[in-house]
Amino acid sequence: MVLDVTATAPDGKKLFEASKFYMPQRDTSIQPFRPKEETFEIPIPPGTKEVNVAVRLTYQPRPGNVYSVHSIDRKVAISP
């Protein structure tokens, strides 16, 4: 299970990219009754008024087979 977060400027320029891996091998799988919480702090170039944030959760139970689980997009206004 992989969580990908990317942020892009209104002109499409990529500002940020990070992934979290939830895997049984390292025992970082998602456990019942124990939600996985993450916080991403994304520095934005001065003057940027808005960024697009894309959050994707995908599952690859067998190598090469990726299933989309969540795909959430948000526009984030940078208020002074």
Partner 1 sequence: MLQKRLSFILILPTALILSLAPLYLFGEGKKGEIGSLKELIDRYDSSRCKECHGEIYAQWEKSHHARPLMGLDGWIFMSLYLKEGVLSVKSPGQATKANFPCAKCHLPQLFKATDSVAAELAAAVLRDDKKTVSRLNIGCLVCHQEKAVVHGRPEKTAIYGTREVKDHEGLPVKKSPLLKDPLFCGQCHGLGPNLEFENPVQCATLYGSYLHAYLPNGGSRTCQDCHMPGKDHTSLPNFNDRAGTSAHLREALPLEVETLGYVFQFEPGKYHPLAVVKTRITNKAGHRIPDG
Chain residues in the site for partner 1 (CB under 8 A): 1, 3, 5, 7, 16, 22-25, 29-48, 50-51, 53, 55, 57, 59, 61-62, 65, 67-70, 72, 74, 76-80
Quick one: which of 43, 61, 64, 80 contacts ligand HEC (CB under 6 A)?
61
Q: How far is the CB of 13 from partner 1 (least distance, A)?
A: 14
Burial class (CB in 10 A: 0-12, 13-18, 19+), 51: buried
